[in-house]
Amino acid sequence: MSAVLTRPATAEQLRAAWCEFFAGKAHTVVPSSSLIPTHPSAPMFTNSGMMPFVSYFLGEEPVPYDPPRAASVQRCVRAGGKHNDLDAIGRSLRHLSFFEMMGNFSFGDYFKSDAIPWAWEFLTEVLGIDGDRLWITCHLSDDEAEEVWADSVGVPRDRIQRLDKDNFWEMGETGPCGPSSEIFWDYGPDLGPAGGPANPLAEDRYVEIWNLVFTQYFRGIGGELTDLPKANVDTGAGLERILAVLAGSPSLYSADVLSLLVEEA
Ligand code: SER
C-alpha cells in the first residue's frame, strides 16, 4: 500500500500519488516526452503514454530500465488520426484534445496478473474510490483477464463485460497493439440508463477512466498482425477524468488544471 495519506484532490497531488505508487512497484518514473513522437511508425502527435516507448515494445532497442518497467504522466494530443477526440470537444464533458495520461508499462516483464490488481489497488486503496461503482470490460477473446478481475481482484462477474473492437487498442494505422481491459466509473442513473459500459446509450453514465492494454501484436502496413517479441503492458489512466471522479463531478472542467483556466477566462 502506498504511503500517500490524503486523497489527492489536485493534478499535482494525483501525479505525485501515481509516480509514488508505481515507483513502489519497481517502476522507473520517466518525465513526459515531446508531443511530437520520433518513431517512424508513430502518428503525427503523441496520442498516449506508450508512444515514447515504441522501440522497446518492438524489441528494436534495449530497455534502459531495470527491471524493464516504467511509469509516466504523459502530455497527449488527440486531434486527428486514429484517436481523434476533436469532434467531441464542446459537446461532451469528458473529451479533451490535450490531456495528461498516467501510465505504467512493462516491457516483457509483468503481465495481466500484476497489472490488473495494481490498477484496482491504486484506485480503491490509494485514491479511496468506491470499487462497487467500478465496471470492467475485457476483450471477447480474453478469458485470462476476466479470470484475474473476478478471481484475484474479486469484481463480481455481473460488472465485467466482454467487448470486441472497443477492447482492442492500436497506436495508429500501424504499430504495437493488443487486447485491452478498461475500467469505468458509474456516475449513476441521473447520467444515463443502466446496463454497464456495453450499453451504447449509457456513455455519459459509465465513463472510462483507465485502459490496460496487453500489447502482444504489431499491426503492419498491410493490416496483418504479427506477434511482438514479448508480451507487454501499456496502461493509460486519464488524469483529468480521475480528478473529476475524485471531485464527484462528471465534468473534466472540474479538474483544477482546467477550472483555473476557465475561471480566468
Ligand atoms: N495506449 C492505451 C490508451 O491510450 C493505454 O495507455 O488507451
Pocket flag, ligand 1, residue 51 (CB < 6 Å): no
Mutational test site, ligand 1, from 30, 39, 50, 184, max ligand atoms within 8 Å of CB: 50
Domain annotation for the chain: domains and CATH numbers: 11-264 (3.30.930.10)
Report how far ligand 1's centroid is from the alpha carbon of 265 (Å). 31
Q: What is the 3-state secondary structure (H, E, C) of the chain?
A: CCCCCCCCCCHHHHHHHHHHHHHCCCCEEECCCCCCCCCCCCCCCCCCCCHHHHHHHCCCCCCCCCCCEEEEEEEEECCCCCCCCHHHECCECCCCCEEEEEEEEECCCCCHHHHHHHHHHHHHHHCCCCHHHEEEEEECCCHHHHHHHHHHHCCCHHHEEEECHHHEEECCCCEEEEEEEEEEEECCHHHCCCCCCCCHHHCCCEEEEEEEEEEEEEECCCCCEEEEEEEEEEEEEEHHHHHHHHHCCCCHHHCHHHHHHHHHC
What is the reported pLDDT for 6? 77
What residue owns the CA closest to ligand 1's atom 2? Answer: 236
What is the reported pLDDT for 5? 58
Ligand 1 atom closest to residue 101's alpha carbon, by position in its atom list: 6
Pocket flag, ligand 1, residue 183 (CB < 6 Å): no
Q: For residue 67, is the peptide bond before it cis, meaning its omega torsion is within 30 degrees of 0?
A: yes
Report how far ligand 1's centroid is from the alpha carbon of 221 (Å). 21
Ligand 1 atom closest to residue 49's alpha carbon, by position in its atom list: 6
Mutational test site, ligand 1, from 101, 239, 240, max ligand atoms within 8 Å of CB: 101
The whole-angstrom separation of Cα 244 and Cα 242 is: 5
What residue owns the CA closest to ligand 1's atom 4? Answer: 48
Report how far ligand 1's centroid is from the alpha carbon of 49 (Å). 7
Per-residue pLDDT tens listing for the chain (265 residues):
444 457 899 999 999 999 999 999 999 999 999 999 999 888 889 999 999 999 999 999 999 999 999 999 999 999 877 778 888 888 888 888 899 999 999 999 999 999 999 999 999 999 999 999 999 999 999 999 999 999 999 999 999 999 999 999 998 889 999 999 999 999 999 999 999 999 999 999 999 999 999 999 999 999 999 999 999 999 999 999 999 999 999 999 988 999 988 889 9
Report how far ligand 1's centroid is from the alpha carbon of 80 (Å). 16
How much is the pTM?
A: 0.95
Cell numbers found for residue 62: 534495449
